Amino acid sequence: MTRLTRREFLRRSGQAALGLGIASQLAWPIGCSDGSSFGPSEAAWRDLAASLQGMLLRPGDPGYALTGLPTNLAFVGIRPQGIVLSAGPADVKTSVGFAREHGLPAVARSGGHSYAGYSTTPGLLVDLSLMDTIKIDPSEGIADIGAGALLDAVDNVVAPFDITVPAARCATVGIAGLLLGGGFGFSARKFGLTSDNLVRTQIVTADGELRNCNERENPDLYWACRGGGGGNFGINVAFQVSTHPVSTVSVYRLKWGVKDDLAAAWSAMQDVAFTAPDDFSLRLGITINEEGPLPGASNELMTALGQFFGPAVELRDLLAPVFDAAPPKRSTIEELSFADATIFLELQDTPDAFLTKSAYMSGPLPDQGIATVLDFIRRFPPDSRDGNFHIFTWGGEINRVPPDATAFVHRSAAFLVESDSSWHTDDPQSVVDASKDWIEEFFDSMQPFFTGSAYQNFMDPTLVEWQSAYYGANFPRLVDVKRTYDPDNFFNLAQSIPTQI
Q: How far apart are alpha carbons 499 and 495 in whole angstroms?
A: 12
Give DSSP secondary structure letters for 172-203. Answer: TSBHHHHHHT----TTHHHH--TGGGEEEEEE
Q: Please tell me whether residue 174 binds ligand FAD under the rule CB under 6 A.
A: yes
Q: Which of 54, 123, 231, 293 binds ligand FAD (CB under 6 A)?
A: 231
Q: Which of 261, 349, 433, 488 binds ligand FAD (CB under 6 A)?
A: 349
* 176 or 409: CB nearest ligand FAD: 176
Q: Please tell me whether residue 86 binds ligand FAD under the rule CB under 6 A.
A: no
Q: Please tell me whether residue 185 binds ligand FAD under the rule CB under 6 A.
A: yes
Q: Which of 80, 111, 285, 387 binds ligand FAD (CB under 6 A)?
A: 111
137 burial via Cβ count (<10 Å: 0-12, 13-18, 19+):
exposed
Q: In the bound complex, what is the minimum distance in angstroms from residue 178's beta carbon to ligand FAD? A: 4
Q: Please tell me whether residue 173 binds ligand FAD under the rule CB under 6 A.
A: yes
CA angle 279, 144, 21 (to 5 degrees): 75
The site that binds ligand FAD (CB under 6 A) totals a number of residues, namely 36
Whether 322 contacts 304, CB under 8 Å = yes
Whether 60 contacts 42, CB under 8 Å = no
Q: Which of 114, 205, 307, 342 binds ligand FAD (CB under 6 A)?
A: 114
* 44 or 339: CB nearest ligand FAD: 339
Strand partners of residue 386: 289, 422
Q: In the bound complex, what is the minimum distance in angstroms from residue 28's beta carbon to ligand FAD? A: 17
Q: How far apart are alpha carbons 432 and 425 in whole angstroms?
A: 9
Q: Please tell me whether residue 287 binds ligand FAD under the rule CB under 6 A.
A: no
Q: In the bound complex, what is the minimum distance in angstroms from residue 436's beta carbon to ligand FAD? A: 17
Q: Please tell me whether residue 165 binds ligand FAD under the rule CB under 6 A.
A: no
What separation in angstroms does the CA of 88 have from each of 206, 348, 460, 468?
Answer: 17, 28, 31, 35
User: Cβ neighbours of residue 483 under 8 Å, at least 6 residues apart?
Assistant: 499, 500
Q: In the bound complex, what is the minimum distance in angstroms from residue 139's beta carbon to ligand FAD? A: 27
Q: How far apart are alpha carbons 194 and 496 in whole angstroms?
A: 21
* 132 or 314: CB nearest ligand FAD: 132
Q: How far apart are alpha carbons 176 and 188 in whole angstroms?
A: 17
* 258 or 413: CB nearest ligand FAD: 413
Contacts with ligand FAD, residue ranges (CB under 6 A): 71, 107-115, 118-119, 128, 147, 168-170, 173-174, 176-178, 180-185, 230-231, 235-236, 347, 349, 457, 493
